[in-house]
């Protein structure tokens, strides 16, 4: 029988800890950690993610500022706003919600954010620090996955781990974290992607599979060995007449048929998603603490 990895429950516990730390900073230093989010346009998924982030900030007592731009905003206008936030002492952490409109150079935007305020962990400085294993802001989703693995005492040492997907947001960073020289970590990692010829052959040998492809129900039971740990990062919105919103979320894993073969598995929703938001809160708290204690 598989064990469900309950991201919602773990996230709630961590939120309580964060709320306690936020209160402590306020009482001792008269400061409240502050996150600023820049949102371009009205993309439905982005609106939802930002609303979740705002709600989570309120739950733990972190100040939240949302800055909106039309999706036809010029790159210069956006970069000027980022620069303004970089220089604003009251702002501890900042994110620009991705994806961005076509006229905006995503990499340029990421690089324009002060690495000390880059709570998404996408700036090359933070990526570089993570790669060599020194303190850095870790991208929120990979950080959340590592937290779940730690919470459930899942043994990663010497295990075979297959990561499906090579994005800068999930695939690449989680592969680095899974092979870092500490626990959790020390796994032997294989990264698969759209050009990999023998994905099934590789996943069948894996003790741990992290599916971050963005392709609904890609991983099926014939690709998973008995007793594997499966972490599903996928969130594909599909139309549904059974839900109030008119859509539902599907993961990269065909849960109903894969779960019976697993030792541990994350659901979608309620698995990695809540942990992603909690990791962002943790990074914002860390940014505020660094300012106070450094």
Strands 247-250, 236-239: pairing kind: antiparallel
Q: State the Cα–Cα distance between residues 24 and 31, nearest whole angstrom.
A: 9
DSSP-assigned letters across all residues of 123-174: SHHHHHHHHHTSS-PPPHHHHHHHHHHHHTT---TT-EEEEE---TTTHHHH
Ranges in the chain annotated CATH 3.40.50.720: 140-274
Paired residues of 67 in beta bridges: 38
CATH number 3.40.50.10860 given to 29-116: yes
| Predicted local confidence at residue 248, as pLDDT | 84
| Predicted local confidence at residue 249, as pLDDT | 86
* The pLDDT of residue 137 is above 90: yes
Q: State the Cα–Cα distance between residues 102 and 167, nearest whole angstrom.
A: 18
Ranges in the chain annotated CATH 3.40.50.10860: 29-116
| Predicted local confidence at residue 241, as pLDDT | 80
Catalytic residues: 53, 97, 120
| Predicted local confidence at residue 27, as pLDDT | 96
**pTM for the model:** 0.94
- Give the domain 140-274 fold: Rossmann fold (3.40.50)
264-285 residue pLDDT tens: 999 999 999 999 999 999 999 9
Three-point CA angle 279, 284, 288, nearest 5°: 145
pLDDT-derived band at 237, boundaries 50, 70, 90: confident
179-211 residue pLDDT tens: 999 999 999 999 999 999 999 999 999 999 999
Q: State the Cα–Cα distance between residues 248 and 235, nearest whole angstrom.
A: 9
Residue percentage of the chain with pLDDT more than 90:
90
Taking all residues of the chain, what is their mean pLDDT, rounded to a whole number? Answer: 96
């Amino acid at each position: 029988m598989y064990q469900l990895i309950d991201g919602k429950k773990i996230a709630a516990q961590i939120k309580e800890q964060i709320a306690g730390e936020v209160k402590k900073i306020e009482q001792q230093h008269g400061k409240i950690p502050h996150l600023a989010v820049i949102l371009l346009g009205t993309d439905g998924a982005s609106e939802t993610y930002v609303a979740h982030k705002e709600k989570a900030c309120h739950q733990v007592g972190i100040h939240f500022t949302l800055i909106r731009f039309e999706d036809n905003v010029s790159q210069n206008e956006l970069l000027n706003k980022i620069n303004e936030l970089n220089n604003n002492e009251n702002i501890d952490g900042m994110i620009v919600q991705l994806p961005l409109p076509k006229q905006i150079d995503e990499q340029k935007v990421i690089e324009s954010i002060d690495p000390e305020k880059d709570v998404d962990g996408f700036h090359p400085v933070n990526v570089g620090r993570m790669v060599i294993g020194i303190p850095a802001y870790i991208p929120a989703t990979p950080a959340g996955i590592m937290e779940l693995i730690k919470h459930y005492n899942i043994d990663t040492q010497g295990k075979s781990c297959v990561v499906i997907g090579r994005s800068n947001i999930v695939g690449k960073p989680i592969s680095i974290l899974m092979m870092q020289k500490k626990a959790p970590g020390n796994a032997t990692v294989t990264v698969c992607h759209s050009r990999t010829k023998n994905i099934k052959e590789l996943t069948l040998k894996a003790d741990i599979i992290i599916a971050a492809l963005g392709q609904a129900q890609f991983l099926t039971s014939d690709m998973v060995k008995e007793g594997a740990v499966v972490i599903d990062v996928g969130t594909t919105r599909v139309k549904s007449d059974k839900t109030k919103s008119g859509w539902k979320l599907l993961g990269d894993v065909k849960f109903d048929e894969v779960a019976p073969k697993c030792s541990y598995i994350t659901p979608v929703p309620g698995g990695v998603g809540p942990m992603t938001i909690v990791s962002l809160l943790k990074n914002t708290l860390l940014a505020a603490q660094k300012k106070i204690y450094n």
